[in-house]
């Protein structure tokens, strides 16, 4: 099991019937403000996606029926990262790239290669889920 995030921004009470898409913080840049062109920079880091679908995919990958909790880690430069807890306690880290991450093909290929290396050289269970 993973340790809890040091500075989680958003946490929900476990509830398998919750609509995860209702939390706007999941999709927006929440780590701070920009000194120059703040509105434009934050808009550039806004990512629209279906969090309910991501939670279902993560639950299926973890062999669980439902995701019961989602925490958002502090925004990074290139990604939004979430800790998803499944019923039964399994946890999945899900990452959604910002537009600033670069071309999806190259960033995904690099990350897949890194995860394959880690899984071959350690005893960690890693799942790579991509959607194009």
**Chain length of the chain:** 132
Tokens of 50: 């279906």
Q: State the pTM of this model.
A: 0.71
Residue 128 has what pLDDT?
Answer: 61
Question: Could you give the C-alpha distances from 19 to 30, 50, 56, 86, in angstroms and in order?
Answer: 20, 10, 12, 15
Residue 101 scores a pLDDT above 90: no
Residues in CB range of 121: below 8 A, 6 or more apart: none
Q: What pLDDT sits at residue 14?
A: 42
Strand 91-97 relative to strand 79-86: parallel, antiparallel, unpaired? antiparallel
Q: Count CB atoms within 10 A of the CB of residue 54.
A: 22
Does the pLDDT at position 75 exceed 50?
A: yes
């Amino acid at each position: 099991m993973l340790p809890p995030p040091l500075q989680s921004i958003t946490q929900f009470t476990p509830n398998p019937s919750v609509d995860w898409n209702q939390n706007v913080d999941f999709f927006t840049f929440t780590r701070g403000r920009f000194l120059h062109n703040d509105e434009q920079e934050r808009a550039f880091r806004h990512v629209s996606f279906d969090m309910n679908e991501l939670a279902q995919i993560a639950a299926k990958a973890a062999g669980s029926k439902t995701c019961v909790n989602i925490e958002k880690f502090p925004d990074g430069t290139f990604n939004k990262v979430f800790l998803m807890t499944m019923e039964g306690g399994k946890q999945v880290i899900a990452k959604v790239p910002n537009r600033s991450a670069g071309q999806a093909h190259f960033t995904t290929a690099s990350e897949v290669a890194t995860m394959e290396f880690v899984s071959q050289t350690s005893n960690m269970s890693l799942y790579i889920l991509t959607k194009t």
